[in-house]
Amino acid sequence: MVKTQVQLPDHLYREGKRIAAEYEMSFADVVRRGLERVIPSFPPRHPTDEPWVMPELDLGLARDPFADPDWRANLHAETTIAATRRRAGRRSKAGRAR
């Protein structure tokens, strides 16, 4: 077993002492049990020497939509065309309802 010192805020120290007294255990047992509960919540990180590489994204598309340098403009144009078609469809349905 390792002997150590820690600095605790007053409220944690008081609560730890209260728990120790109420449950008839030592303050050290309260701290040990607290650490036993907290440690599983923080699994070890596995550092690697390899640089991080962005994963490949497979969208399942026939072609890469971002290969064209003007993809933003094309996206806006496609959205505008789709919205125009939806509005035209609503107008024709409204005309039939009259």
Locate the domains of the chain by residue range: 10-41, 68-98
Return the pLDDT at 73: 79
CA geometry: angle at 61 spanning 83 and 84, to 5°?
A: 10
Q: What is the pLDDT of residues 67-95, one digit of tens each?
A: 888 877 777 776 777 777 777 777 666 66
Report the percentage of the chain scoring pLDDT > 90. 42
Q: 27 near 17, Cβ under 8 Å?
A: yes
Name the DSSP letter for residue 55: P
* pTM metric for this prediction: 0.47
Return the pLDDT at 50: 82
Neighbours of 30 (CB within 10 A): 18
